[in-house]
Structure 1
Amino acid sequence: MCDTIQFFRIFLFFVGWLFLTVSVIYANRCSKKKGINMNTFSGMLEVWGMVFRFENKKLSIMLLTSAYGGAVLAIVILILTHWGQSQGCVFPINDRTMR
């Protein structure tokens, strides 16, 4: 059971990073098409303004899903970790004895 929980923890972690990576790359491409420099604070505010105004539906859905879905995934991972530890599982973090 502990191995299954560990698998799902790692799987959800990578799904979250995949959402984040794809969303940032797509936001970068959309902002370049509009001539917005996403690497500046004002540029990021413009991008998030576009997201919340739903000017580009795909961009809005991707970034909002990534932001809020990533937060939900983090909470699910924490719940899985806590539940697994209450069942007696040990999830070593940076344990060098595993090598």
Structure 2
Amino acid sequence: MNAPASGPLADQIAARLTAALDPTHLVVSNDSAQHSGHMGDDGSGESHFSVTIESPAFAGVSRVERQRLVNRALADLLAERIHALAIRARAPGEAA
């Protein structure tokens, strides 16, 4: 598994997704610098993220349900600390 997270919130995202979905591949990217000064930028440097995740939990599951599984694992962080989250989710063996 790959998890080049940076910062405490990115580390929390990686830990929660690992615990909830047992990914075979995981990359959490902090995109906050690209949104500095925009709406939702709280000045913490940790408000906007991208997640690329591959998990057996996604096999036979629709794209919408994959998003829901990720969102459920991060629910309180999404409500309180994460302004934006881009999700790329796939099952093992699917094209990237």
TM-score norm. by structure 2 comes to: 0.30
| Greater strand fraction, Structure 1 or Structure 2 | 2
| Greater helix fraction, Structure 1 or Structure 2 | 1
Higher relative CO (CA 8 A, sep ≥ 6), structure 1 or 2? 1
Pick the structure with greater CA Rg: 1
